[in-house]
């Protein structure tokens, strides 16, 4: 059956838009029709080159006279919105596209970004694209396997490999049946929330994890911050602050005991646990709790590429049973081909090698950034750096708003992330992850010019 043009589909149920009280004044009706189509064209809902409904069709659908529609079309043509073609009808012009281009040209153009100190992306040199392409091509050659949908819980061999991986890397003992795969932590939380719907509130360390709090809020949870008496406690022990502070073992044990005594569920987002430079890796909450009362979240976006959307969730026994009762009703969101590729990638030892490579790369870059920042800002600054991560926090004297500092920096080609501000100072997060080390010095010199801080000998 032939599909209707978009312009004809837009006519359905639109007759109510045109006031019949104006029937004594046909000019009012034709102008209403004219404005209606003009707005559709300007909103790009009627694309350039698309055919307008015929006069007869339009009059029939809108329950108006053909003369009224013809007058409206003539007015649209006079204003340049449509054009008549002999023996064919009326067609939409590109006036809306021209208007968009003119507005874009007239708007002040923002200077290109020279140095992005706010990005949490990955270093171009951190990932072996050629190696990953080989594994992806190998996965795509498994024709028979790719003819079917992915398993709702995740590919069985991949979950087995993950259970071995977390036992070796994080001392977590779990069954492949306890693991759920998804395309990012957010998609996994959409599976988890119905499993804990008997709980009423959730606490986050701070308001920055909007993606997580939004999911919980959508499921009716009360959102709290830094409240350990909540039904659900969401923590990132290896990423307690943006600059890489790590939760010590004593505090982890205290949190586990408190959660157990209050029947609270802990969600452990083990984000950036691989990037621990200045101390030995700390045991996970899941392993310290013996797998009880803790949901473990892991992801590969920082180890591989942000575009490879594969995360996993390890459920405690009490939630595994609930998941299996309804897990088959959830579609798998992660790419089946990428799961197959990553499974073999891990088995061949490349993920462990990638982790070692990244630790060397980012620890060296963070050390270089710290040196450059100390030389550039000195005693007028306060520098905070943790035992992990790829960022440091720099506090500088600044009596204006943080937003104005960001705007001022953007005009000079510098992109910043503001962590905190008061009447006398501003704290900026400086990330070394995606910016080349050769750009650290010119970026800091430019920041110094923007904020007008004189360098002095540093002291932390």
pLDDT at residue 22, rounded to an integer = 47
Confidence of residue 18 (pLDDT cuts 50, 70, 90): low
User: Which tens digits make up the pLDDT trace of 267-301?
Assistant: 999 887 777 766 677 899 999 999 999 999 999 88
- Taking residues 318-338, report their average pLDDT: 92
At residue 103, does pLDDT exceed 70?
no
Q: Own/partner pairs for 414-420, CB < 8 Å, 24+ apart?
A: 414/113, 414/114, 414/115, 414/117, 414/443, 414/446, 414/447, 414/450, 415/113, 415/115, 415/116, 415/117, 415/118, 415/119, 416/117, 416/118, 416/447, 417/117, 417/118, 419/242, 419/393, 420/395
At residue 106, does pLDDT exceed 80?
no
At residue 362, does pLDDT exceed 60?
yes
pLDDT at residue 456, rounded to an integer = 38
At residue 455, does pLDDT exceed 80?
no
At residue 403, does pLDDT exceed 80?
yes
Confidence of residue 104 (pLDDT cuts 50, 70, 90): low
At residue 210, does pLDDT exceed 60?
yes
At residue 4, does pLDDT exceed 70?
no
Residue predicted with more confidence, 453 or 212 = 212
Confidence of residue 26 (pLDDT cuts 50, 70, 90): low
Query: CA-to-CA distance for 355 and 304, rounded, in angstroms?
Result: 9
- Taking residues 73-81, report their average pLDDT: 88
At residue 132, does pLDDT exceed 90?
yes
Residue predicted with more confidence, 396 or 105 = 396
pLDDT at residue 84, rounded to an integer = 87
pLDDT at residue 264, rounded to an integer = 96
- Taking residues 322-342, report their average pLDDT: 93
Confidence of residue 126 (pLDDT cuts 50, 70, 90): confident
Confidence of residue 44 (pLDDT cuts 50, 70, 90): confident
Confidence of residue 396 (pLDDT cuts 50, 70, 90): very high
Beta bridge partners, 312, equal 181, 298
Residues in contact with 386: Cβ distance below 8 Å, sequence separation at least 6, in sequence order: 240, 241, 243, 244, 245, 246, 278
């Amino acid at each position: 059956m032939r599909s209707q043009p978009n312009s004809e589909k837009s006519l359905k149920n639109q007759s109510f838009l045109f006031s019949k009280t104006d029937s004594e004044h046909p000019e009012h009706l034709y102008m209403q029709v004219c404005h209606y189509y003009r707005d559709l064209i300007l909103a790009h809902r009627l694309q350039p080159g698309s055919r307008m409904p015929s006069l007869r069709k339009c009059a029939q659908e809108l329950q108006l006279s053909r003369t009224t529609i013809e007058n409206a079309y003539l007015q649209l043509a006079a204003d340049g919105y449509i054009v008549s073609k002999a023996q064919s009808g009326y067609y939409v012009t590109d006036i809306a596209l021209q208007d968009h281009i003119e507005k874009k040209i007239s708007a002040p153009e923002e200077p290109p970004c020279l140095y992005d100190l706010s990005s949490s992306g990955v270093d171009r040199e951190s990932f072996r694209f050629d190696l990953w392409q080989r594994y992806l091509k190998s996965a795509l050659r498994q024709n028979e396997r790719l003819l079917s949908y992915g398993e709702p819980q995740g590919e069985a061999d991949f979950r087995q490999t993950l259970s071995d991986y977390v036992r070796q890397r994080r001392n977590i003992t779990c069954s492949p049946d306890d693991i759920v795969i998804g395309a990012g932590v957010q998609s996994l939380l959409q599976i988890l929330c119905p499993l804990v719907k008997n709980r009423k509130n959730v606490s986050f360390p701070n308001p920055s994890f909007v993606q997580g709090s939004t999911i919980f809020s959508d499921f009716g949870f009360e959102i709290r911050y830094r409240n350990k008496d909540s039904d659900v406690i969401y923590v990132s022990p290896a990423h307690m602050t943006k600059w890489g502070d790590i939760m010590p073992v004593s505090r982890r044990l205290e949190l586990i005991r408190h959660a157990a005594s209050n029947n609270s569920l802990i969600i452990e987002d083990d984000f950036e646990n691989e990037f621990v430079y200045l101390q030995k890796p700390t045991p996970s909450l899941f392993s310290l709790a013996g797998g009880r009362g803790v949901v473990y979240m892991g992801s590969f976006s920082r180890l591989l590429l942000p575009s490879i959307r594969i995360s996993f969730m390890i459920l405690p026994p009490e939630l595994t049973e609930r998941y299996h009762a309804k897990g088959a009703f959830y579609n798998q969101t992660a790419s089946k081909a990428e799961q197959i590729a990553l499974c073999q990638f891990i088995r061949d030892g490349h993920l462990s090698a990638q982790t070692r490579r990244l630790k060397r790369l980012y620890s060296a870059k963070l050390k270089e950034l710290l040196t450059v920042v100390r030389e550039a800002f000195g005693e007028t600054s306060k520098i905070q750096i943790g035992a992990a991560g790829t960022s440091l926090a720099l506090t500088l004297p600044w009596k204006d708003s943080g937003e104005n500092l960001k705007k001022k920096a953007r005009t000079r080609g510098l992109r910043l992330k503001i962590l905190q501000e008061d009447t006398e100072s501003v704290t900026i997060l400086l990330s070394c992850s995606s910016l080349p080390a050769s750009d650290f010095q010119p970026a800091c010199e430019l920041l110094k010019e923007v904020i007008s801080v004189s360098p002095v000998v540093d002291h932390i």
